[in-house]
Chains A and B, each alone.
Chain A
Amino acid sequence: MAGRRAPARRPTRPPEGMAPVAYFARRFLFFIGTLWAAVTLNFLIPRLQPGDPAEAIVSRLAGQSESIDPAQLQAIRIMLGAPDGNLFEQYVQYLGAIVQGDFGVSYTYFPYSVTHMIGQALPWTVILVGVTQIISFIVGTLLGTWAAYRRNSRVDSVITLGSTFLGTLPFFWLALLLIYVFAITLRWFPERGGYGGGSSPGWSWIFISDAFQHSVLPAVALLITGPIGWIIGMRNNMVQSLGEDHARLAVARGLPRRRIALTYGARIAILPNVTGFAIALGSVLGGTVLVETVFNYPGMGRLLLESVSSRDYPLMQAIFLFTTVGVLVANFLADLLYGFLDPRVRKADTA
């Protein structure tokens, strides 16, 4: 006998008589509250730690085998300027600046502003990671669907086992091998960077094709490891939903297998993945530290790693803020979207 699920009861404590406006206002307040908390955390995390950006810069310049020139340290301290006031005043200033969209000047790229630096890195990350993320999701979902549809067949084994093995290869390692094989040995693709040394960034055809060639290997690395989660998740969910009575009845109704797989399996099985996907998309803004590092890709991940290691507070804070807001917004949208996709969802509970 197939799984019977008790018809989900309405919550026992419904939000009595709450008007829709109030409901949205509440959700929005919740959103703002989380945003504020995240922003505050982003302010505090770097500041609560010991360390001096000037020292970090100088020691990076000097390298580990050279002694540090105190005069240089002094000059850099002056250049960066010490933050004014106590922590609270700094916090107020910080909030004020954020509201105005002013993130300050980057320490590592002085005198370029943080906004400028993020503007440089963001498109690369958004395009590379965003596109591969979406492709991973689509491919993963399709493969997972296929595997569940052909459960226990050879296709299922090939998909699940194959993707399991490939997908769990450590991804920086995979990246290295890809570079070695396809860039260094075969010389099919450039070995790193977002574009070649000779081309100048812009909307020219040459540049775009150059950038595309440079993005192939990192994209492949991301695509090999990306879909596994979606595949397994989708397959598991779908196996479950295909075992339910409504799917059994669909069989009895003589619906084509494909139709059953899609509307009675995949359509339901995809729901739990929506939030995960939204969060994944939201975190695209943070880039992928590892891939970008291995491929020297000029995206947010590498910028972040650099800002952290050289204690570039303004840059670090801004990147944190970006990723946080990205995930938060994605999360918020996913919640709203979920209500549309899953008619059963009890709106009060998705908060």
Chain B
Amino acid sequence: VTGCTGTESASGPGTDGRIAFLDYGDFGGGSNPQANYNPYLDATRLGATEYVFEQLIAYDSYGCQAKPWLATQWTWTDPQTLVWKLRDGVTWNDGKPFSAEDVTFTYDMLKQHKALDTKGIWRYLSAVEATDPKTVTMRFTQPGAAAFTLFGEIKIVPKHVWSTVGDPVTFTNAEKPVGTGPFTVKAFNPQQLTLGRNADYWQADKVKVDELRFHKADGGGQIDQLKLSRGEYDSNAMFVPDIKKAYVDRDPEHNKYWFPSGGSISVYLNLTKAPFNDTAFRKALVPAFNRQEIVDKAQLGYVKPASQTGLVVPGQAEWLPKDLPNQGVVGYDPARADADLTAAGYPKNGAGKRVGKDGKPIAFSFRVPGSWTDWVQAQRIIVANLNALGFTVRAETPTPEAYENDRAIGNYDALLGVHGGSCNMFRNFQEPLASDQSAPIGKKAVSNFVRWNDPRTDQLIATLRTATDEVAQKAAVADLTTVMTEQVPVIPLWYGAKWFQYRTAKATGWPNEQNPYAAPSDNLLIITHLQPAGNTK
């Protein structure tokens, strides 16, 4: 491209079975990114930190499996004590050795600076100690199993650098960030971020890419879509309309995509209001929505209808009760919904309007944020489905801010919300359903926006938090999915997608449906899996 000057041809390597460079998409940091490699400043750091810093374990967030990374081994000596064995031969990219000191320093820093503890790890921890240079012991205030997945997300930083920093919260780490990761920052300007391979990386042999080039893009507009479709990105993560025609068909041999499911997008009914506080009512509504049409029309067929269990199927199918038909995905059956509603005491009146227990027609509003066009599209289908059942539903499209605010304080009738989708089953259920995440109407709820308040649910969630063994966890999850299907606190409709496009012209080994060894966001796992394409075209 004419405008691109500089490193285009400058990088020499790429021979001996390696890939000279790969073009990636956006690297974060807003529209006018500033050098910021502080791995804890989630909101403003640049994408490079993912490749410069590493964690104790690498989580495959698709299969929900922890892989040894900076730690080779971990053991729960008791439900409140976790002992980590650190990897040998790891060095910081400035040559200094990596040790347990760095790990304890990192965790202690998060304790001191709450602003950096974006995972809330110190909600569970009581102390982190280096028992020897290669061993770290963590003590929890209570059984800590629920926090385990979080360790995969805490980047470890070098003590010898960060201990000299005045205030790590405002530290941008802009000059040659020191980490243990496979790449170092090579060049940066607000348009492009270039990472170079760290030759001394502890598993350098697995990293076949010499250079990663991230290109600034703003939220995947038309231009970026065009560039993607023309093969200018080796990998990107953005929404592309009609991806088959627009992307795959342009180069079917190399252009690929994989959109694994994320969280569930569900109908949130305000459970403090009638008739939504009636379980029979909610349960009758489960088959009332044409999930397939939403998926096809509003979501361009990129996603799948969601299971009523709150879990992501088929990825998390093994957590489901065995006897559940169709993995809890309920089909569209307006006749049944109609019959169930009538049976539950909500018949249609003479005018064909469905009436409540008070005999008045049921009218309510249904909100989605106005600028989220696919949701607005889905809203149209949902409202049509509901109106077909005799409800009078107003579609409202407030601004995202107003939507968020009203959702938090419970000032709504019905809306669409997102929950779940992570590997942390505790979080998946605690956030939307635990009563401690709720608040009275008018006060901001943390995440239980429907205001589900059920002692049994709370108890199951508590079990999930403390159970370190898998059997107990599975039992609790299965019970929670039953709560979902039987008591219907929310009605999942479809799964959000994780956008992921890749090209196999230069590199192969990307995760995909056939080989889902990692989720698209598991950068370290992917970069260590990439191989040069057989024939460099």
A and B in contact, CB less than 8 Å: yes
> Chain A interface (Cβ within 8 Å of chain B)?
49-52, 55-61, 63-72, 74-76, 78-79, 105, 107-112, 116-117, 120-121, 176, 179-180, 183-184, 187-201, 206, 210, 213-214, 293-294, 296, 298, 302-303, 306, 310-311
CB pair A78 B114 closer than 8 Å: yes
Give A310 to B218 CA distance when docked, in angstroms.
Answer: 14
A201-B189, A298-B190 as given contacts; A61 in contact with B437, CB under 8 Å: no
CB pair A197 B191 closer than 8 Å: yes
The segment from B62-70, B326-334, B418-426, B525-533 that touches chain A is B418-426
Least CB distance, A205 to chain B, in whole angstroms: 11
A50-B405, A71-B123, A306-B30 as given contacts; A198 in contact with B421, CB under 8 Å: no
Taking A196-B3, A213-B3 as known contacts, 12 extra A-B pairs with beta carbons closer than 8 A to each other, sorted by chain A number, are A51-B404, A52-B405, A56-B401, A64-B418, A66-B496, A71-B120, A75-B117, A78-B115, A109-B36, A120-B34, A197-B194, A302-B32
Least CB distance, A261 to chain B, in whole angstroms: 42
Q: List 7 A-B contacts (CB under 8 A).
A: A50-B401, A52-B405, A71-B117, A75-B114, A109-B36, A190-B2, A306-B31
A-B contact count (CB 8 A): 202
B496 partner residues in chain A, CB cutoff 8 A: 63-66
CB pair A79 B263 closer than 8 Å: no
CB pair B421 A66 closer than 8 Å: yes
With most chain B CB atoms within 10 A of its CB, the pick from A121, A187, A199, A201 is: A199
B230 partner residues in chain A, CB cutoff 8 A: 184
Count B-side interface residues using an 8 Å CB cutoff: 71
- List B residues 17-50 near A (Cβ within 8 Å): 29-32, 34, 36, 41-44
A110-B41, A302-B32 as given contacts; A213 in contact with B2, CB under 8 Å: yes
CB pair A112 B34 closer than 8 Å: yes
A117 partner residues in chain B, CB cutoff 8 A: 32, 34
Least CB distance, A140 to chain B, in whole angstroms: 29
CB pair A199 B2 closer than 8 Å: no
Least CB distance, B364 to chain A, in whole angstroms: 22
Give A134 to B43 CA distance when docked, in angstroms.
Answer: 38
CB pair B263 A65 closer than 8 Å: yes
* Nearest A-chain residue to B44, judged by Cβ: A110
B44 partner residues in chain A, CB cutoff 8 A: 108-112
Give A180 to B191 CA distance when docked, in angstroms.
Answer: 20
Least CB distance, A227 to chain B, in whole angstroms: 26
CB pair B120 A75 closer than 8 Å: yes
CB pair B372 A68 closer than 8 Å: no
CB pair B418 A67 closer than 8 Å: yes
CB pair A302 B31 closer than 8 Å: yes
A180 partner residues in chain B, CB cutoff 8 A: 226
- List B residues 165-209 near A (Cβ within 8 Å): 169-172, 187, 189-192, 194
From B4, B30, B114, A197 is in contact (CB under 8 Å) with: B4
Least CB distance, B49 to chain A, in whole angstroms: 14
CB pair B405 A70 closer than 8 Å: no
The segment from B5-13, B279-287, B380-388, B389-397 that touches chain A is B5-13
CB pair A197 B213 closer than 8 Å: yes
Give A78 to B420 CA distance when docked, in angstroms.
Answer: 25
Give A190 to B372 CA distance when docked, in angstroms.
Answer: 29
- List B residues 407-451 near A (Cβ within 8 Å): 418-422, 427, 431-432, 437, 446-447
With most chain B CB atoms within 10 A of its CB, the pick from A116, A189, A196 is: A196
CB pair A71 B5 closer than 8 Å: no
Least CB distance, A200 to chain B, in whole angstroms: 5
